[in-house]
Structure 1
Amino acid sequence: MSVARKIARNTALLMIASLFTNIMAFVWTLYTARYLGTVGFGILSAALALTGIFSVLADLGLSTYATREVARDNEKTSKFLGNIALIKCFLALITVSLLYITVLFKEYPPQSVSVIMIIGGYMLFTSFTALFNAIFQGHQKMEYQTIGNIINSSLLLFGILLAIYLQGDIISISLAYLMASIITLIYSAGVTSWKFTRPSLEYDRKFWKKSITQALPFGITGIFTTIYFWIDSVMLSFMQGDAAVGLYNAPYKLLFVMLSFYSVYMLALFPAMAQFYKGSSESLKLTYTRSYKYMLILSLPIAVGTTMLAQEIILLIYGAEYLPAVAALQILIWSIVFMFVNGLSSNLLGSIDKQLTVTKITGIGALVNIGINLAIIPILSFYGASIATVFTEFFIMILFTRVVSKTEFSVGSTIFSDLWRILIPNLIMLGVLVYLEVSLLVMILICSVVYVASILITKAIDEQDISIIKSLIGKNKS
């Protein structure tokens, strides 16, 4: 099977899981937000944000590093799994200790402490599952990760709905997260043992030193990325209270649902890009430049449509209690345009062994994000946090563009020649949104048809793209 078709196959498999899990996530977010209210939803969201930041310490980039190295040489599977699993055991102990110290220092209420520590357990089990997923990705066998994602989401939805049906409290809902992660980890370990190699802890001092050294840039990048993804919720919790966190996370959760579709493509693309770097720089440049265009084609209509339909979306999903979050959604949604492009550029630099550059850029971005949040959250509350997120992503995009432009993989003027072909369909779709008055679901359907038709008319998708698509689905044997 060609690399192109492997990407298509793996993307399709992960897309199936993503579609399923996003439907599940949509349902449990809807029920959780409505059941707990803005304050309770804020407590849960703050716990997920705080433990999300600590989750990077439990991995330190080791899973991403394992994906890259196993993709380059499948024979290394057992060595990486055994050694990295043991490293992660030590990291887990350190992470839990630091999380508990943080909770004691902040002096959270008892209920919040319980929720944070339970979600912390969920975070640790998910971190170990990520290692097994790294093996699946390295072998480009995404079907196993697909099944694991579906299992996790199904169990989480079932647990949350059961807790709500039994009129449980926020701790009961937190336990649903924990149990789902435990069962998913058991599944992932079982599949790895059955299909690849039997997991067994291993200590190789030289291997540990090399792995930690090589993975650390990925890990530090993850820390910085996680900070500017989650620090706003933590800072809102400290500075504005749980209700503000709930109102901010209502649109933020929707943002993550939309981002998951793009992350599916990134997961499938990274192992292939790593292979291209060793075998064909021409293929790598083609993959990057074409993917850059695809990211804009996908992200811009989402941003335009969500901005215009934000109030209807919030009312449909969360109810009138969350109406103050409409403006936050209209601001936040524009960050996905920059996130899509930044994720692709990060993948490129990581695949050509420039992960340290990615680390530096995301570190600068994290500092910028914290500074803006400190300055404007006291004035604009969660609206300020929304502005900080968008500006940070835009700033990072500028830095990534500058770095990539100095490599042989620069998109150069290519993307600008296609930009008008992408912008015109978005303007046409905007006209439909402004002048047509129909229900939300009908509007989404009409806009989708209008946008796709306009993209084809302007030839934003050209003959080469069509040829690539045909080769991906196996209609072109060349």
Structure 2
Amino acid sequence: MNLIPRVIQRRIAHRPNLIKIVDNIGWLFFDKILRMGVGLFIGVWIARYLGPEQFGLLSFALAFTGLFGAIATLGLQDIVVRDIVRDPESARLTLGTAALLQLMGGFVSFLLIFGVIAYLRPDDSLARSIVAILGSMMLFKASEIAVYWFESQVKSKYVVWVHNCVSLTFAAIKVVLILKQSALVAFVWVMLAEAVVVSLVLLVVLGLRGPALTSLRTSAVRAKSLLNDSWPLILSALAIMIYMKIDQIMLGQMVGDEAVGIYSAAVRLSEVWYFIPMAVVTSVFPAILEAKKRSEAEYYARLQKLYDLMVLVSVAVALPMTFLATPLVGLLFGEAYVAAGTTLAIHIWAAVFVFLGVASGKWFLAENRQILSLQRTSLGAIANVGLNFLLIPHYGVVGAAIATVVSQAIAAWLFDPMQAVTRPMFFMKLASMNPLRISTLLSFRG
């Protein structure tokens, strides 16, 4: 199945690498749009069924367990993909070692989740049970080596097949739970079952379409090498999750689960667009690495075009959503959630900086500047926690939205002029915000 329209195929037929990139982006968009549509429909239905308080508790639990995902994955995704592209002969050793490390990281992550929630909510047995069930997902993070392999080969279609088949199946199961008026915990168990099935099927597909699982090897030397490169990314990913999720956790602790439910309704409609930079950047990253080998000028020219595209698309999303926020929330979630409209109108503008942050994150990896990446994300996390402490008591969910936008801007853009080596990135991103600059993905030469 080729997802590239024929008119585009004819224009880029003489550029096989570009065809590969565009086709991969097409698969990723197909995956995310389908799952986004189904997920949004089911998520909205679940939110309406559960009501703001129970939906808020579920959202709190998902955000809380998400904080520890960085420990489970050990920041290895980009490192593993980079190393496979650079040294294909060592792919089996890299994948096997990464799987073992993530298996260990997942176990540590689960223990931390269980311990911290017991401290935060000692008298809330339901919250502790839900968090423990969702936290069990961390034990299956090792299966993500399949995603890394297909990403390194620019063959994301296999991952798309797995995610969509499983997602559609479990979406039907969730509908049955709603129709049977099941309890909140039933939905949580289904979420865990979905994660387990995805993990197992991904490993099967990897064995069929990639290196055989029995051929994967491990090495203490390789493990040390991977961790030496990834430890800043572990802390960086943790910082990212803090300033992406801490608002929901702080709302739950400072205001209550109902406020989390209102806020989560807005965030669900805002963050649903974040698949766009992930899909684009994941597909063009190998080409950007190849450009760096040929010429610094070509390398930075491609980065500038990527920044241009990120701003263009994010503004195209944020502008109409600002004016449609309140009626859209009311239409989808119902009157119980209508207060989320103002929050959405503010939160959606974080997309501009999220898109730029995802794109520039690849620059830090390509330049082996993981420490700087850690510094910028840590600054964003600190800013978000501080702003939430200041704003939530006075403005509630709206204050949390403002804190998110400002902290994203600090991490993705305003950090750049603080360091000489990143200062050019500040001006490149500033240039991309010029409304006269128009760039398209077809500008990339493969």
Contact 2:76 2:226 in 1 (8 A): yes
Q: Report what 1:398 is aligned to.
A: 413
Structure 1 segment 183-262 matched on structure 2, within 5 A: 183-200=197-214, 202-262=217-277
Q: Does 1:335 find its partner at 2:350? A: yes
| Residue type at the aligned position of 1:91 | G
Relative distance call for 1:213 and 1:365 in structure 2 (3 A) is: same
Q: Report what 1:468 is aligned to.
A: 443
Is the partner of 1:353 in helix, strand or coil? coil
**1:184-211 deviation per Cα after TM superposition (whole angstroms, max 9, x unaligned):** 1111101111122122574422111111
Distance 1:15 1:30 in 2: 21
Relative distance call for 1:168 and 1:293 in structure 2 (3 A) is: same
| Residue type at the aligned position of 1:347 | K
Which stretch has the larger CA shift, 274-283 or 48-57?
274-283
Q: 69, 87, 97: which one pairs with 1:73? A: 87
Pairwise CA distance, 1:108: 4.9
Distance 1:299 1:405 in 2: 27
| Residue type at the aligned position of 1:141 | K
Q: Does 1:306 find its partner at 2:321? A: yes
Gaps in structure 1 of 5+ consecutive residues: 423-459, 473-478
Q: Does 1:177 find its partner at 2:191? A: yes
How does the TM-score come out when normalised to structure 2?
Answer: 0.90
Structure 1 segment 56-205 matched on structure 2, within 5 A: 56-106=70-120, 107-125=122-140, 127-200=141-214, 202-205=217-220
**1:349-385 deviation per Cα after TM superposition (whole angstroms, max 9, x unaligned):** 2122112211111011111111111122122111111
Structure 1 segment 223-372 matched on structure 2, within 5 A: 223-372=238-387
Pairwise CA distance, 1:119: 1.2
Pairwise CA distance, 1:252: 0.4
| Residue type at the aligned position of 2:69 | S
Contact 1:42 1:243 in 2 (8 A): yes
| Residue type at the aligned position of 2:209 | K
| Residue type at the aligned position of 2:21 | I
Distance 2:22 2:387 in 1: 39
Pairwise CA distance, 1:416: 3.6
Contact 2:106 2:138 in 1 (8 A): no
Distance 1:408 1:26 in 2: 39
Distance 1:418 1:244 in 2: 34
Contact 2:146 2:203 in 1 (8 A): yes
Which stretch has the larger CA shift, 106-115 or 85-94?
106-115
How does the TM-score come out when normalised to structure 1?
Answer: 0.85
Which stretch has the larger CA shift, 278-287 or 349-358?
278-287
| Residue type at the aligned position of 1:16 | F
Identity %: 25
Contact 1:404 1:410 in 2 (8 A): no
**1:400-440 deviation per Cα after TM superposition (whole angstroms, max 9, x unaligned):** 54379846975857964882326xxxxxxxxxxxxxxxxxx
| Residue type at the aligned position of 2:443 | I
Contact 1:328 1:382 in 2 (8 A): yes
Distance 1:413 1:328 in 2: 30
**Count of residues in Structure 1 that have an aligned counterpart in Structure 2:** 430
Q: Report what 2:7 is aligned to.
A: none
Relative distance call for 1:163 and 1:399 in structure 2 (3 A) is: same
Aligned-residue CA RMSD in angstroms?
A: 2.3
Contact 1:345 1:400 in 2 (8 A): no
Distance 1:97 1:274 in 2: 37
Q: Does 1:9 find its partner at 2:23? A: yes
**1:181-239 deviation per Cα after TM superposition (whole angstroms, max 9, x unaligned):** 11111111011111221225744221111111111122111110011001111111111
Distance 2:416 2:92 in 1: 37
Q: Report what 1:442 is aligned to.
A: none
Distance 2:194 2:429 in 1: 45
Relative distance call for 1:2 and 1:249 in structure 2 (3 A) is: same
